[in-house]
Structure 1
Amino acid sequence: MYNVKARAAFSPTANFKKTDITRRALDKKDILIEIKYAGICHSDIHTVRGEWGEVQYPLVPGHEIAGIVKETGEEVTKYTIGDRVGVGCMVDSCGQCEHCQQGEEQYCEGPHGHTGTYADIDKYGEYTQGGYSTHIVVSEDFVVRIPDNIPLEKAAPLLCAGITTFSPLNHWQAAGKNIAVVGLGGLGHMAVKIGHAMGAKVTVLSQTLSKKEDGLLFGADGYYATSDPKTFETLSNSFDLIINTVSAILDYDSYLSLLKLDGTLVNVGAPAEAAPLHISSLIGGRRSFAGSAIGGIKETQEMLDFCGEHNITPEIELISADKIEEAYERVLHSDVRYRFVIDTKTI
């Protein structure tokens, strides 16, 4: 076993504290990763504060992990010491169900679904702890390789924000289509960059025009304020695909009206409340109201390779571990452009 440094929450409301956690001894297919950087996702905040159900404390969040391979198990074949690697939102799955066999481990139908990087129970019966730490042990099958031209600190958010937006853009074949991105935050700005690189015509739908300059710089072709009712009149029946990155309830009927015939509104943000909409908003234009999680391991590697090929990286603000609480508050107030990343040498 390895004794490593971490920052943990000890209750839903307490500040993060320095602590020691243990990582398991290497199994045959495991690798030990020295974490260099860990991104802060809004999901971390929801989980730490118990907003998605009860969790066990102390809790070490973090599922946007970038680092270096330090040790390998005796049967590891995919990675060697010194490789630049990443770990995302899951660290295991049943491996046997139809979805796992198809490389869609995020939709694992095993008895417990996939194993989350933190706040979950792994096959060893241990409570998983995430990336706000100095090291992690993960099976090589749930590790991805980071292209050499992507700095590790900018690679970290790709492991959640990147794949969460790449996956629906890839699945619904955004290339050559007219698409919209709702919200220009950590997820939204990646959807714009990736959609643009795929060859889509991208429009940003944001509450205000305060980030318009950024949106256009990231590759958006248009930018509209949803607080202006004229926006929904102007853009009626315009889009083949809408990626909604906002984790709050919206007037979904209004957004569905922006879709063309057979268009799809895909939600990657996850508000806790039930979503109100009228079925007639779907029937009228044979429209679809859909959701999408992260991607599988194969698709996550494809996303990283795509970002490396097109020189796509997130916009980040690098912080020390002492600033986690401040970063959480700023995320909640939309005061980040566009992703906080923890430098783990400060843990």
Structure 2
Amino acid sequence: MVQATQFRGSPSGHIVQTTAELPNIQPDEVLVKVTDSGLCGSDLHFLSVPMVLGHEGIGIVEQIGSACSRLKVGDRVGWGPILSTCDACDMCMTGREAYCPKVKMYGVEDFDIHGSICSHAVRKEQWLFQIPDSMSSADAAPLMCGGGTVWVPLVEQCKPYERIGIVGIGGLGHLAIQFAAKMGCDVIVFSSTEEKRDEALNLGANEFYATKGVSDYATLGVPKPIDRLLITSSAKFNLGLFYPILARKASIFPLSVDSGDLTAPYMPTIARGISIVGSCVSSRYPQNKMMDFAARHKIHSIVEQYPMTLEGVTHAVDRLQSGKIRYRGVISWNSLHDQ
């Protein structure tokens, strides 16, 4: 039995530190000693739930179940929000497990053993990803959810010769810019102010437009229509704002986690053939390919690092809630030795 240190949400919304005895692993499970955890915007939705927080984990394999064959003790692995799938339905059989009707996700089931802001976690071997040796844990952690979220629509829906619009330069946006640029796309970034122009261009953007106070996006001066538009900002707006600068048959991908309704103009959507496409977190095959691509092309996460202590976790969450983190928080046990 392993005594795990865990950082949980609580009914009050405050983070609490607890210890728990983890169950013996099942034949298809792996015990992982956590080294780092990314902090994702969707974690904020679970602060009032008494569950182990975090779903962008990085750690070292400590024990493997008798049926495990892919991993070995000592491997460095990562994991995201998917806990398990049925592996038998049409979605699973065609490599789209994220859409499995029986998918178990972070925040929905198994509150006690599957988080990543903790000392140890138990995971299904099938949903652990080996981290390339050339990639740091700080770079890898945000890719477990945020990276996969932007990678899937880019690699499945976007062509290298297309103009790709990215709305927002934050936890998702700064990764999307790098991926799209390395894929050879023409990358156009939209942000509320001019503050992040230089950063966007340095990350690989070809064009940058500030939209605050602009009611007619036709006046932004975008020289050619945009083929695909990734919404990585959490701000809600009428998608029709972008229609004047979108190509016919363009696609829009809302990627941030939020509640409420999408708003778009009815007839212009039909007349211009605009597609609004839902896209979930990454399945296993694209996630593995994304990790290899990120390592080869030196995709870097821009992170703020915090120690894996109650004070450190609370401070990181407070920064995320206030919108001050640039651009992902990574909470690390190793940083305790750097204080």
Both proteins in one fold, TM over 0.5? yes
Count of aligned pairs: 332
For the residue of structure 2 that corresponds to 1:291, the secondary structure is coil
Stretches of structure 1 lacking an aligned partner (at least 5 in a row): 50-54
1:86 aligns with 2:78: yes
1:344 aligns with 2:333: yes
User: Hey, what does 2:104 align to over in structure 1?
Assistant: 115
Q: How does 1:22-171 map to 2 (within 5 A)?
A: 22-49=21-48, 55=49, 57=50, 59-110=51-102, 114-117=103-106, 119-122=107-110, 129-171=114-156
User: Hey, what does 1:188 align to over in structure 2?
Assistant: 173
1:262 aligns with 2:252: no
1:235 aligns with 2:222: yes
User: Hey, what does 2:2 align to over in structure 1?
Assistant: 2
Q: Which runs of 4+ in 1 moved over 6 A?
A: none
Distance in 1 between the 2:70 and 2:5 partners?
Answer: 27
Is the Cα–Cα contact under 8 Å of residues 190 and 209 in structure 2 kept in the other structure? yes
User: Hey, what does 1:220 align to over in structure 2?
Assistant: 205
Q: Deviations over 1:222-260 (max 9, x none)?
A: 111111426443238610100001223112111233210
Distance in 2 between the 1:103 and 1:204 partners?
Answer: 31
Is the Cα–Cα contact under 8 Å of residues 174 and 195 in structure 1 kept in the other structure? no
In 2 relative to 1, CA 239–12 (structure 1 residues): closer, same or farther, beyond 3 Å?
farther
TM-score of the two chains, using structure 1 as the length reference: 0.91
Distance in 2 between the 1:83 and 1:6 partners?
Answer: 22
Q: How does 1:315-334 map to 2 (within 5 A)?
A: 315-320=302-307, 321=309, 322-334=311-323
Q: Deviations over 1:193-246 (max 9, x none)?
A: 100011101111011111111111111111111114264432386101000012
1:293 aligns with 2:260: no
In 2 relative to 1, CA 253–237 (structure 1 residues): closer, same or farther, beyond 3 Å?
farther
Q: Deviations over 1:98-141 (max 9, x none)?
A: 1011121111123xxx1123x3325xxx7554101011111111
Q: Deviations over 1:284-336 (max 9, x none)?
A: 31111122111101111111011011111211111023232332232233212
User: Hey, what does 2:19 align to over in structure 1?
Assistant: 20
| 1:191 maps to amino acid | A
| 1:342 maps to amino acid | I
- How high is the sequence identity, in percent, across the aligned residues? 27
Alignment partner of 1:253 out of 240, 263, 269: 240
Is the Cα–Cα contact under 8 Å of residues 249 and 273 in structure 1 kept in the other structure? no
Is the Cα–Cα contact under 8 Å of residues 71 and 81 in structure 1 kept in the other structure? yes
1:314 aligns with 2:313: no
Quote how far apart the aligned CAs of 1:12 are. 4.3
Is the Cα–Cα contact under 8 Å of residues 186 and 337 in structure 1 kept in the other structure? yes
Is the Cα–Cα contact under 8 Å of residues 7 and 133 in structure 1 kept in the other structure? yes
Distance in 1 between the 2:206 and 2:42 partners?
Answer: 29
Distance in 2 between the 1:80 and 1:253 partners?
Answer: 51
For the residue of structure 1 that corresponds to 2:70, the secondary structure is coil
| 1:121 maps to amino acid | E
In 2 relative to 1, CA 179–132 (structure 1 residues): closer, same or farther, beyond 3 Å?
same
| 2:80 maps to amino acid | G
| 1:330 maps to amino acid | R
Is the Cα–Cα contact under 8 Å of residues 158 and 228 in structure 2 kept in the other structure? no
Q: How does 1:201-220 map to 2 (within 5 A)?
A: 201-220=186-205
Is the Cα–Cα contact under 8 Å of residues 217 and 244 in structure 2 kept in the other structure? no
Quote how far apart the aligned CAs of 1:23 are. 2.6
| 2:272 maps to amino acid | G
In 2 relative to 1, CA 283–236 (structure 1 residues): closer, same or farther, beyond 3 Å?
farther
Distance in 2 between the 1:328 and 1:133 partners?
Answer: 15
In 2 relative to 1, CA 140–129 (structure 1 residues): closer, same or farther, beyond 3 Å?
closer
Q: Which segment is superposed worse, 142-151 or 95-104?
A: 95-104
1:303 aligns with 2:256: no
For the residue of structure 1 that corresponds to 2:227, the secondary structure is strand
Stretches of structure 2 lacking an aligned partner (at least 5 in a row): none
Distance in 1 between the 2:211 and 2:321 partners?
Answer: 20
In 2 relative to 1, CA 344–232 (structure 1 residues): closer, same or farther, beyond 3 Å?
farther
Distance in 2 between the 1:251 and 1:135 partners?
Answer: 43
| 1:281 maps to amino acid | P
Is the Cα–Cα contact under 8 Å of residues 132 and 344 in structure 1 kept in the other structure? no
Quote how far apart the aligned CAs of 1:175 are. 1.9
Distance in 1 between the 2:218 and 2:145 partners?
Answer: 30
Is the Cα–Cα contact under 8 Å of residues 38 and 344 in structure 1 kept in the other structure? no
For the residue of structure 1 that corresponds to 2:320, the secondary structure is helix
In 2 relative to 1, CA 237–274 (structure 1 residues): closer, same or farther, beyond 3 Å?
farther
